[in-house]
Amino acid sequence: MPQNRKLNSFNMAIFIAIAPVLEDDWFYSQIQSYSSYGQLCNRTSKHAYSGIFRREHHYNLSCGIERGYYSHVAPIQMRAALHQQAHAIAAHIQRRLLPDFMVNLDIARLYLARKTATQERHRWLVSCMQKFCSISS
């Protein structure tokens, strides 16, 4: 089984160059505690990320949503060759990862909106019951 390789400065330069090509909302974030993993993060959707692992002959890229925000979808994954330029990798991400990922992100937002509305209704009902009902009645 291939092992993850440590990200070097050349790899990080490619990832930093990928972020602005995707959109203005994406930026590269290095994970200090894990030398073989980097992330492209989204400023608009703070819970969205694209993770990057370097393998022996390719990069493994994935788009996902932080588990604390929404954990009902698996990350969408793809591979990119090590020799590809930043704009080519960004084009692959835009074409192969982001469309499906944005659908998943919309599902997560809809789920959380429904959950928030349900919780608000429950709080309102509890408040009404406490106001108008007593244990003695």
- What are the structural domains of the chain? 9-132 (3.40.1000)
pTM of the model: 0.69
Q: Does residue 108 have a pLDDT over 80?
A: yes
Residue 114 confidence class, pLDDT cut points 50, 70, 90: very high
Q: What percent of the chain has pLDDT over 70?
A: 93
Torsion sign (Cα): 96, 17, 53, 106? negative
Q: Does residue 1 have a pLDDT over 80?
A: no
Spatial strand order in the sheet of 58-65? 26-30, 37-42, 48-54, 58-65, 76-81
